[in-house]
């Protein structure tokens, strides 16, 4: 079901985003037709982003496009998959005029090129509600090598990529809620506006990590997801968690570390590795483009806890993050 | 990004919908992991349904669930694919309470069982706007056998399955807009509430149909899509188009045939077949569960037209259908 406006938009604006990928069938058909690489499995991640829920109503088209692709790519990264293509289902509110839509599609094009993606399908429709984007990312991984959340075992060590804290603080910056920290926030803001999916790291962790997840609900909550899926307990040392420069400044002015460890949206990879393989992770960190830090251990028990080296538990007010 | 409510909903309500399909990874992971059948291609169809746009605000949960799956399955049918699984991205408005959501998921379960589908991923989120459902349907088809829109050639004959008209009239019935035809409408209403994706027919047409599409934008508009994709013209005889019992009654009371042929949402298959294969289509019609009717021919030229046998053109006011 579509009006002429939709067909024009698809033909003039979206068709270039297929990059000539034969799977897209020129966006003329009812569906995309994907020929899998022999010996590979297909990885499918599908998340919706709603204006006012997953991004701010006033966010620029480029921010919305970047977050829509990158947060979904982060899911592929956590499984060690190589991204290949995507389908976009876009529900446009009338208030977003043609220039906004064009800017959004142009930004999507820039983003997808950065990740070697092609648009292969989806639809556009109107909505009386907020802009709603459902992206279905299609990745591939050699059969049997995908990293899952369920493989952590007692004795494994817990690692995290990059730094934590910019997810939470960047959102505050985007909302204009942190006038007390104007100088330190641009770095965090950039991380909110264009999170970095750790695709190269995810692929390098295949055959090494026993479990992995991307930090989207908050480091503690996501550690809990691995614990639940793996049937064990994760103990995280809060002092060991690497925090960003902005976060360091924020903590110095009275901010609570627990807030950052439950604040979500960092899109770093949290993963577990057998202790015997520690040197391989350290080699990855030396030769890769992102720092890797050991922050805890896998034990018997259930769930995830933050425990200082002296044994004290850090009790966050709330584990997890329910949007904003 | 999710709150505890989402996790509970996924674990208690959505997990049973995976039917134990290993691709779902227990809905615990960041993405689904699909092992393609050897020698098959993956077919991916993704469409959004927005309350008030693709279904009525007051529609029952069972109607919304049926339309969400069936209209997307119809896209797979048009390509001759066998449906296998789906991902659902659901944006819930607060106004839809827990009983509504439970009834919706229960209905989705009933529907997916009727089509042998398993839920393998997706997400749920909140929205300040209307209920928005993005379904990504995953199908499989033997490599090289998918039917596309682009294969029609001059001399082919144009066929349609089932009957046309219930899509338009069923919507009027659902809206309560046809009090003049109370007795004749239940059949149309059922077709609006639960369109029948022609999956068996679509698979049977592989290797026989040169092009196919499902009638969702309106018979004339969808014939135009085949014409454009194939670089030829489709000439449809309006008198040959099979109309439903409800439509026959409606035409008898002064309704315009052109309205039904541009009214959309019938979800029948419109397809082209070489004239030399007419007997094979007739055999399919005899042994299948749906009528197949020859309604036109493929010629040189472009676009689709409705032309009576005496040469007069039928000029609809509007080719196509822009939701409601």
Domain-ending residue, one of A127, A142, A157 = A142
Strands (E), B76-143: 82-93, 118-127, 132-142
In a domain, B320, yes or no: no
Q: What number is the average pLDDT over the span B175-202? A: 79
Higher-pLDDT residue of A274, A184: A274
Does any domain span residue A177? yes
Q: How many Å lie between the alpha carbon of A158 and the closest alpha carbon of chain B? A: 18
Residues in chain A closer than 8 A to B43 (CB atoms): 31-34
Closest to A26 in 3D by CA, of B305, B231, B134: B231
Give the chain B residue whose CA is nearest to the CA of A33.
B43
How far apart are the C-alpha atoms of A153 and B210, rounded to whole Å? 54
User: Considering the domain boundaries, does residue A287 fall inside one?
Assistant: yes
Cβ distance of B48 and A149 shorter than 8 Å: no
pLDDT tens profile A227-237: 999 999 999 99
Are B136 and A30 in contact (CB < 8 Å)? no
Regarding whether A273 and A183 lie in a shared domain, the answer is: yes
| Among A25, A26, A29, the residue to mutate for chain B (most B Cβ within 10 A) | A29
Residue B186 has pLDDT above 80, yes or no: no
pLDDT tens digits for range A237-295: 999 999 999 899 889 988 899 999 998 789 999 999 999 999 999 999 999 889 999 99
User: For position A322, what pLDDT does the model report?
Assistant: 36
Q: Is A71 found in the same domain as A180?
A: no
Q: Determine, for residues B42 and A31 on separate chains, whether the beta-carbon distance falls below 8 Å.
A: no
Distances (CA, A) of A7 to A1, A13, A141: 10, 10, 34
Of A142, A162, A190, which marks where a domain is finished? A142
Nearest CA in chain A to B26: A229
Under 8 Å between Cβ of A211 and A230: yes
Q: Which residues does residue B138 pair with via DSSP β-bridges, in sequence order?
A: B44, B85
Q: How far apart are CA B16 and CA B123, in angstroms?
A: 15
Query: Is there a domain that residue A120 lies in?
Result: yes
pLDDT given for residue B321 in this prediction: 36
pLDDT digits (tens, 9 = 90+) for A73-128: 999 999 999 999 999 999 999 999 999 999 999 999 999 999 999 999 988 999 99
Which residues lie across from A164 on neighbouring strands? A243
Same domain, B210 and B95: no
- pLDDT, mean of residues B28-46: 92
- Cβ of A29 within 8 Å of Cβ of B134? The answer is no
pLDDT score of A305? 95
Q: How confident is the model at residue A7 (pLDDT cuts 50, 70, 90)?
A: confident
A127 and A164 inside one domain: no
- In this prediction, residue B288 carries a pLDDT of 87
Nearest to B148 among A29, A146, A322 (CB): A29
Same domain, B40 and B131: yes
Do the Cβ atoms of B127 and A132 come closer than 8 Å? yes
CB–CB of A42 and B34 under 8 A? yes
**B8, B48, B75, B263, best to mutate vs chain A, most A CBs in 10 Å:** B48
| Coil vs helix vs strand at B291 | coil
Mark whether A294 and A173 lie in a shared domain.
yes
Do A98 and A221 share a domain, yes or no? no
Asked if A30 lies within 8 A of B2 by C-beta distance, the reply is no
What pLDDT is attached to residue A3? 52
Q: How far is A310 from chain B (nearest CA, A)?
A: 30
Per DSSP, B274 falls in state -
In a domain, B322, yes or no: no
Task: Tell me which chain B residues have a C-beta less than 8 angstroms from the C-beta of A36.
Answer: 36, 41-42
What does the alpha-carbon distance between residue A127 and residue A270 come to, in Å, rounded to a whole number? 37
* Distance (Å) from the alpha carbon of B248 to chain A's nearest alpha carbon: 24
CATH code (residue B51): 3.30.1330.10
Chain A neighbors of B33, CB-CB under 8 A:
41-43, 79, 141, 146, 148
ipTM given for this complex: 0.90
Note whether B48 contacts A79, CB cutoff 8 Å: no
As a whole number of angstroms, the distance between CA B253 and CA B242 comes to 18
Q: Please tell me the predicted confidence (pLDDT) of residue A44.
A: 96
Q: Which residues of chain B are within 8 Å of residue A137 when distances are taken between CB atoms?
A: 31
CB-nearest partner of B54 from A1, A28, A120:
A1
B301's CB contacts (< 8 A; 6+ apart) are B232, B233
**A323: in domain:** no
pLDDT at position B59 over 50: yes
| Cβ neighbours of A87 in B, within 8 Å | 44, 46, 136
Average predicted confidence (pLDDT) for chain B: 91
Q: Do B28 and A229 touch (CB under 8 A)?
A: yes
Whether A26 is in a domain gets the answer: no
The mean pLDDT value of chain A amounts to 91
Residues B275 and B199 in one domain: yes
How many CB pairs lie under 8 A apart between chains A and B?
A: 254
pLDDT band at B2 (very low <50, low <70, confident <90, very high): very low
Residues B232-243 pLDDT 10s: 999 999 999 999
User: Are A87 and B229 inside 8 Å of each other by CB?
Assistant: no
**What percent of chain B stands above pLDDT 70?**
93
**In this predicted model, what pLDDT tens digit does every residue of B107-166 receive, in sequence order?**
999 999 999 999 999 889 999 999 999 999 999 999 999 999 999 999 999 999 999 999
Last residue of a domain, one of B88, B117, B142: B142
Cβ pair B1:A265 closer than 8 A: yes
Question: Per-residue pLDDT for A6 more than 80?
Answer: no
Closest CB to A1 among B42, B146, B321: B321
pLDDT the model gives residue B323: 35
Asked whether residue A263 falls in the same domain as residue A225, the answer is: yes
Q: How many domains does chain B have?
A: 2
Looking at the fold, whether B79 and B197 belong to one and the same domain comes out as no
B129/A126 touch (CB, cutoff 8 Å), yes or no: no
Environment class of residue A270 by beta-carbon count within 10 Å: exposed (0-12), middle (13-18) or buried (19+)?
A: buried
How far apart are alpha carbons A195 and A269 in whole angstroms? 12
Give the mean model confidence (pLDDT) for residues B291-301.
97
Residue among B1, B4, B303 with most chain A CBs within 10 A, to mutate = B1
Judge: B122–A146 Cβ closer than 8 Å, yes or no: no
What band does A177 get if pLDDT is binned at 50, 70 and 90?
low
Residue B323, domain member (yes or no): no
> Tokens in use for B10?
């996924």
Digit-coded pLDDT (tens) for B260-287: 999 878 999 999 999 999 999 999 999 9
pLDDT digits (tens, 9 = 90+) for B84-97: 999 999 999 999 99
Could you give the CA distance from residue A291 to residue A198 in angstroms, rounded to a whole number? 11
List beta partners, residue B41.
Answer: B141
B43 and A31: CB-CB below 8 Å?
yes
B69, B124: one domain: yes
CATH number at residue B276: 3.90.650.10
C-alpha angle B23/B28/B34, rounded to 5°?
15
Containing domain of residue B109, as a range? 4-142
Give the H or E element holding residue A309.
none
Chain B neighbors of A225, CB-CB under 8 A: 28
Structure confidence at residue B181 (pLDDT): 57
**Whether the predicted pLDDT of A133 surpasses 70:** yes
Burial of B94 (0-12, 13-18, 19+ CB in 10 A): exposed
Which pLDDT band, with edges at 50, 70 and 90, does B317 fall under? low
Check whether residue B188 and residue B294 sit in a common domain: yes
């Amino acid at each position: 079901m579509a009006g002429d406006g939709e067909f024009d938009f698809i033909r003039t604006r979206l068709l270039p985003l297929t990059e000539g990928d034969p799977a897209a069938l020129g966006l003329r058909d009812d569906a995309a037709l994907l020929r899998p690489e022999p010996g590979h499995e297909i990885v499918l991640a599908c998340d919706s982003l709603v204006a006012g829920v997953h991004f701010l109503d006033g966010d620029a088209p480029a921010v919305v496009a970047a977050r829509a692709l990158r947060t979904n790519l982060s899911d592929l990264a956590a499984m060690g998959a190589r991204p290949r293509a995507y389908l976009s289902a876009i529900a446009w509110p009338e208030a977003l005029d043609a220039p906004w839509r064009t800017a959004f599609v142009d930004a999507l094009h820039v983003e997808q090129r950065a990740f070697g993606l092609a648009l292969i399908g989806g639809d556009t429709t109107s909505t009386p509600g907020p802009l709603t984007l459902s992206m279905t990312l299609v990745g591939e991984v050699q059969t049997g090598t995908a990293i899952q959340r369920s493989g952590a075992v007692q004795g494994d060590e817990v690692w995290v990529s990059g730094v934590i804290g910019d997810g939470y603080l960047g959102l505050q910056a985007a909302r204009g809620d942190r006038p007390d920290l104007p100088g330190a926030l641009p770095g965090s803001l950039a991380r909110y506006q264009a999170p970095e999916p750790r695709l190269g790291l995810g692929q390098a962790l295949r055959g090494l990590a026993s479990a992995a997840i991307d930090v989207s609900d908050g480091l503690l909550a996501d550690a809990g997801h691995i614990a639940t899926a793996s049937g064990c307990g994760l103990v995280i040392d809060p002092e060991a968690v690497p925090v960003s420069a902005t976060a360091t400044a924020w903590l110095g002015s009275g901010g609570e570390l627990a807030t950052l460890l439950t604040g979500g949206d960092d899109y770093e990879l949290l993963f577990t590795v057998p202790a015997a393989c520690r040197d391989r992770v350290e080699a990855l960190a030396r030769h890769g483009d992102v720092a890797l830090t050991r922050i805890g251990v896998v034990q018997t028990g259930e769930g995830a806890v933050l425990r200082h080296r002296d044994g004290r538990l850090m009790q966050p007010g709330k584990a997890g993050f329910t949007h904003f």
